[in-house]
Amino acid sequence: MDLRAHAPVTTALRFCLHALLVGLLALAALRAAGDGTAHTAAVVVPAGLMAALYAAGVLAPAVQPHTRAARLWLAALGVVWLALLALSPEALWVAFPLYFLQLHLLPPRSGLPAVAVTAAAAIAGFVLHGQEVTAGAFIGPLLGAAVAVATVRGYEALFRESERRREVIDELVSTRAELAVAERTAGTLAERERLAREIHDTLAQGLSSIQLLLRAAERSLPEDATATAHVRRAREAAQDNLAEARRFVRALTPPDLERGSLAAALSRLSSRSSAPDLTVQFAVSGRPVELPTPYEVALLRTAQSSLANAVQHSGARRAEITLSFMETSVSLDVVDDGRGFDAAAAPARTSGGGFGLLAMRARARSLGGTLSVESGPGQGTAVAVTLPLPAADVHGPAGAESTQDAEGRAA
């Protein structure tokens, strides 16, 4: 029998229950032996039988709470106890450990009636043995039954509360582990983006300029000049290294951009909004052109941050994302119908609960663009980021503009 041994205190209570029942049976047997009457054996035998039956149930794996085996075991104990009660008034006290057994092993709808019947049998046995009828003879078994019910129900309530706390702790530990994984993933993605931006803004752009300058130098030299071959090989080496740098940038691209264009990534972002009550619509304006990876990353992250703000801070029900391609620039607009805020009083620093505007503005500024925010209490929020297209700011050597427009765009 396992009396819900889920904690060390339960083990101690179970040991006390065993000791109490065996001790009361031994008391009844010893009192009968001390009287020296003829029916001593008649008391000792059922007392020993009840002790043996109790030990068998305690050791039987099948005797578990709310099982048929437990009910049969308790019924057998009850029959032997009634026989012992008919022979000795001392058996009345065995009712107290029986209360706890019945409350532990029987469901509430049958445990409480069983306790009541046991208390009534104990009182009746006391009266039938001709003992002096006092108020204590009636109050004692009833009070014992009440104490048993209060103790068992109180322990069960504490156990349920302990289980709830354990589940909450397990959930918190699991959530903390998930947050740690998410933070590591976010840190990894942020580092990949930073490396991609650094490679694009420094190494790739430098190699592109070197290639264009070498092409211009190659065109200005006579075909049969000695330096022409060296310049050509240098240009080809720069071109190969530029292609390798571009491969690095592509390899560091965020997963959302690996499966297609920026427009496709924004469309997927709109369709899988994290809030069930938020409807997001996405539209593309103008003729889409291929953008450098840092541009796509910056625009995608701005859209993600703006939607996250709409969900967490503004309580928006509707949002619109518009990606606009113009002759010299590309812009992204995210507009929601949330509660808005005072844009002039927006926090200067980002924090765990901030708007993230500083990070978005810094990302746009690093690419030569701008970010504007229009909002007011109860007026929703509009976030717009505009980035200049790379071809608009390119000024290479004479005769090299068309080549840089074709080759430097993806750098």
Position 284 scores a pLDDT of 92
400 — pLDDT class (breaks 50, 70, 90): very low
**pTM, full prediction:** 0.40
In this predicted structure, the answer to whether residue 365 has a pLDDT above a threshold of 70 is yes
Q: Which of 22-36, 284-298, 314-328 has the highest mean pLDDT?
A: 314-328
**DSSP line for 26-57:** HHHHHHHHHHT-TTHHHHHHHHHHHHHHHHHH
Nearest alpha-carbon partner for 18 in 56, 70, 72, 67: 56
pLDDT tens readout for residues 72-101: 988 998 898 888 888 887 788 888 888 888
Q: Tell me the one-letter amino acid at 177.
A: A
pLDDT tens readout for residues 346-355: 554 443 333 4
The whole-angstrom separation of Cα 207 and Cα 219 is 18
Listed range (313-317, 329-333, 374-378, 389-393) with the worst mean pLDDT: 389-393
**Tokens standing for residue 345:** 């009083």
* Overall average pLDDT of the 29-42 stretch: 71
* Number of helices (H), then strands (E), in the chain: 13, 5
Q: Return phi, psi of residue 48, to 5°.
A: -65, -40
Position 333 scores a pLDDT of 94
Position 396 scores a pLDDT of 36
In this predicted structure, the answer to whether residue 386 has a pLDDT above a threshold of 90 is yes
Q: What is the greatest pairwise CA distance in the chain?
A: 137
Q: Return phi, psi of residue 329, to 5°.
A: -155, 165
pLDDT tens readout for residues 250-297: 666 666 665 567 888 888 888 876 566 788 899 999 888 888 877 888
CA angle 88-92-94, nearest 5°?
110
- State the average pLDDT for the chain: 78
The whole-angstrom separation of Cα 333 and Cα 376 is 17
Position 405 scores a pLDDT of 38
Q: Residue 32 in contact with residue 40, Cβ under 8 Å? A: yes
Q: Return phi, psi of residue 290, to 5°.
A: -70, 130
In this predicted structure, the answer to whether residue 25 has a pLDDT above a threshold of 50 is yes
Q: What percent of the chain has pLDDT over 70?
A: 80
Q: Rg (Cα) of the chain, in Å, rounded? A: 42
The whole-angstrom separation of Cα 55 and Cα 18 is 9
Residue listed under structure tokens 């942020």: 190
The whole-angstrom separation of Cα 24 and Cα 43 is 13
**Tokens standing for residue 134:** 């006092």
